[in-house]
Amino acid sequence: MAAIEAAYLQIPLSVADGYSFELQTKKREAITSSSPTVGSEGCSQEPSQSSRGVTIGDIEDVAVSRQANGDGEAKPHRPHHRSLCVTDLTALEWCEKQVEFSITRGKPQKTEAMKAGSARHVELEIEVVTRVEVQVLSREDSWAIRLLNFITGARQLQSEGLTRELPVLGVIQGCWVVGIIDELQLCGRDGVERPLLIDTKTRNRPTPPSEPQKRNGRMQLMVYKLLWDNLVTTGIPFDLFFHHFKLQPLHSLSGDVRGHAGDLYIGSNVQTLQDIVPLFSQECLLFPKAHESLLLRYEWQADRKLLGQDEFPFEGEWLELRLQWHLEYWHGQREAAYVPEEELWKCRYCAFANICPAMEAGTKCSQ
Ligand code: SF4
């Protein structure tokens, strides 16, 4: 059977030397072009942090260019993804209309600043993990790798106090959401050692982020905390998971995936996705909820100087309302909202400004 994609198992550097498979530290381009995704599940594909770099939330870095897909008029946007990525949610927080344009007209091309951001995330990632390329033959393989990478990252967090690029998933307001947490550090505060969730944003100018950029970064980390806390308290409802993603729990995983799983988890006998379920669930139970504080780091791309840190508290009520609002649009219950008046400056950096009705009219809808 032909491989449907290549994916990467993450191996902590501390154990990489003893690992029997040939390790391949990928260059950024290689990771970007074939990073592990669950794209076949319909998510608009949250790439690894290393391939993501600057998100749409760092829109000041986005050049006014886009990949046209052709047909002019925007189609009514009613996406039917099986899951959402965390970056989909932050993109909606930036501008729903821009997300709609990205879907109907094609995503804006990556700029040099975005590529530099991606390269920086690769550097951060390979400080603690390396990757092994694995051939994926089925959607079950793809999900198996994601779950195995979570287990590996969680064990690294437990033993070394830090991990990066940790894949997480769960159900938020009835939607399956997937994401990759940039960094987790075990950190003792108030007598309890908990994971502190951290995200590094790179900037191409040595200036502090704007309020909307900070808000996007904050929302991203808050959603990660929600996913993490759900995982370690209630776990994944695997019956629903298999049903929702139309996966066969007893489908035999590829030899590549089984071989790697056997090497990584000595004593386990992983043959199917179902075999990974107890490993995953046991791992989740070992951790407490994440800290209520979350940390954003801003770095200047030119010299990696720290421009500033934003430590802020998790705001559950605010997050719930924002997610509720955006999901109304996502589920087709209302039209996409434009940026509010005080954030019209975003339009200057928007790849779709020349076709956006908000710009044509010189007015906008507010949320
Ligand atoms: S021009 Fe402004 S309102 Fe229109 S899609 Fe772009 S950011 Fe949103």
**CB of 98 closer than 6 angstroms to any ligand 1 atom:** yes
Report if residue 269 sits inside a domain: no
- Write the CB contacts of 290 (distance below 8 Å, at least 6 apart in sequence): 184, 194, 195, 196, 197, 224, 225, 228, 229
> In whole angstroms, what is the distance from residue 232 CA to residue 288 CA?
6
Q: How far is residue 183's CA from residue 201's CA, in Å, rounded to a whole number?
A: 12
Residue 133 lies in a domain: no
Degrees to nearest 5, angle at CA 44 with 43 and 46: 90
Which residues make beta-bridge pairs with 198? 183, 295
Q: Which amino acid is at 250?
A: L
Left, alpha or beta for 178 (phi > 0: left; psi -120 to 50: alpha)? beta
> Would 240 be classed as within a structural domain?
yes
Joined together, the tokens standing for residue 337 give: 């909202």
Residue 51 sits at φ, ψ, to 5 deg, of: -95, -10
Closest to 300 measured CA to CA, from 202, 161, 154: 202
Range of the domain at 97: 38-125+138-248+277-361
User: What is the position in ligand 1's atom list of the atom closest to the CA of 59?
Assistant: 7
Q: Which two tokens stand for residue 349?
A: 């950096």
Residues 352, 101 contacting (CB under 8 angstroms): yes
Residue 264 within any structural domain of the chain: no
Q: Whose C-alpha lies nearest to ligand 1, atom 3?
A: 338
d(CA 183, CA 290): 12
d(CA 79, CA 71): 18
For residue 252, which of 349, 364, 137 has the smallest C-alpha distance? 137
Residue 211 domain-assigned? yes
CA 19 / ligand 1 centre spacing (Å)? 49
**Cβ(145)–Cβ(259) under 8 Å?**
no
Residue 22 lies in a domain: no
Question: What is the pLDDT at residue 288?
Answer: 96
Can you give the pLDDT at residue 251? 96
Minimal-distance CA residue to ligand 1 atom 7: 347
| Element of type H or E holding 187 | strand 175-189
Q: Is the CB of 350 under 6 A from ligand 1?
A: yes
> 46: domain CATH number?
3.90.320
Is residue 11 helix, strand or coil? strand
The pLDDT tens digits for 221-250 are 999 999 999 999 999 999 999 999 999 999
d(CA 133, CA 136): 9
pLDDT, position 80: 62
Q: Please state the atom number of ligand 1 nearest to the C-alpha of residue 352.
A: 6
Positions of the chain with pLDDT under 50:
18-42, 44-45, 47-76, 363-367
Q: What pLDDT was estimated at residue 192? A: 86
Q: What are residue 220's DSSP bridge partners?
A: none
CA 186 to chain centre: 20
Q: Report yes or no on 244 lying in a domain.
A: yes
Q: How many helices and strands (H and E) does the chain possess? A: 13, 8
pLDDT at 230: 97
- Counting from 1 in the atom list of ligand 1, the atom nearest the Cα of 357 is 4
pLDDT tens, residue by residue, 209-227: 999 999 999 999 999 999 9
Q: Please, how many CA atoms are within 13 Å of residue 12, restricted to the half-sphere of its CB?
A: 19
Q: Give the model's pLDDT for residue 16.
A: 56
| Total domain count, the chain | 1
SS3 57: helix
Residue 85 located in a structural domain: yes
